[in-house]
A and B are shown apart, each in its own frame.
Chain A
């Protein structure tokens, strides 16, 4: 088993003008997905992220405060999951609820350093 990180990006929920009903439905899908992974015993951890952002760039350590509206794609959260390989991860990612909102799942393997 290897450890993978799924990184979710796309538009911010607050900027999409989703209705309470849509938010509830979407939340239900996320809930079902994480339950499924949990029951399979593969979900290690994960979090949703606030959309407010402070960015520090370059030699001068230039600081900018950004809101979701100023960034096209924003990382909204991540999960860390046990899986055999990328193909299996790809399968798992099929249940990501926000593809229809133009959301993206990026799959990255967590690096493990042997002695």
Chain B
């Protein structure tokens, strides 16, 4: 008997079973399916209190298969037109749909549904976390720092969009695939960033978002139709970022910038994983934005110390990235990179091209960079002015504390 279950077994299994059952019964019965699967886990949690089954996964799968019959019975009382099992899933017998390869296939189909352009971009993340990843509404709300009610609305909006557009439960092929795949990668990228960039007291749930985004990305790479060089690059990028996830804050949960992170605590197996993925990604000569972002992340990891960072190279990758995505945030970053490289002329050149309104709630980053610029130019009064502007517009507590610390140090300079 196993002493302990695999971490996240229930969560992962929930995503698997919802996907397989959806393949059998169709997207129109999604809610019923989700309830039935949830019920399996409540039962397991009670039945396994004293004794774990020999093969917990097989137990859960068997339970889900039994749910097929339950769902059938339920549907029979509700409607005359039952999904024709023979027709719906072709010649494949139901038990074959529960084989590992078919489960993976069903999950990929669900990912493509979740990331379908018919869904509002904001609804895609919530829907993916719910149906593919097995998060509860409460978990999604706490991971995304959004009210439970809002998540509930997003989920029901997503379900309605699926019904209205009568989405197919399949992996798109041919001409349709590249765009759809791009949309999937974008959602995975966003899920990862939600986990990596938001800073909350309870980091745990956010780290799970990073882990989950990587898991889903791995699923894309495991299927020959959905495996692309951009996918490899995205996976490399996530691995590189994850390698330094633990060093982003200190023991007092204060935010640490790259300069002050303990580089000995970076997780090197993840760096190696990133390198391996990156090698696969560059076999295709066409680079995506993920290639450049991964290259930048790798460059940071290569440097032994902050002072040893190869800023020239990083700037070069940012310039490539900016060509693909001419966004003001990239300009801002390029300005910061130039300042690290003590090229203040070029930095000012980039800063002049930005208007803070374009950055919306990230305007404080611009003001912070302006403060750094003026500090470097020894114009402390101007720098303090910009720091105050930054403090006026920052919303995140940790970021605010970071800026306040910076301001206190700066104010003590002779000026």
Contact = CB atoms under 8 A, between A and B. Distances in A.
B5 interface: yes
Contacts, number: 70
A48 B47 contact: yes
Nearest to B35: A14
A34 B49 CA distance: 7
A34 B44 CA distance: 16
Given A19-B11, A23-B10, A28-B5, A13 B42 contact: yes
Interface residues of A, number: 20
A100 to B, nearest CB: 14
Interface stretch (B20-28, B135-143, B293-301): B135-143
Interface string A8-32: 0000011001111111101110110
Contacts of B138: 17, 19
A69 to B, nearest CB: 14
A46 B41 CA distance: 20
A30 B45 CA distance: 9
Given A26-B45, A27-B44, A27-B49, A20 B39 contact: no
A59 B270 CA distance: 71
A23 B56 CA distance: 14
Interface in B1-24: 4-5, 8-11, 13-14
Contacts of B413: none
Contacts of B47: 48
Nearest to A19: B136
B42 A21 contact: no
Counting chain A CB atoms within 10 Å of each CB, the highest count among B4, B42, B136 belongs to B42
A21 B8 contact: yes
30 contacts: A13-B45, A14-B39, A17-B138, A18-B42, A19-B11, A19-B139, A20-B11, A20-B14, A20-B134, A20-B136, A21-B10, A21-B135, A23-B10, A23-B41, A23-B45, A24-B8, A24-B10, A24-B11, A24-B41, A26-B45, A27-B44, A28-B5, A30-B50, A31-B50, A48-B46, A48-B47, A48-B49, A76-B46, A77-B46, A77-B49
Interface of B: 4-5, 8-11, 13-14, 38-39, 41-42, 44-50, 52, 134-139
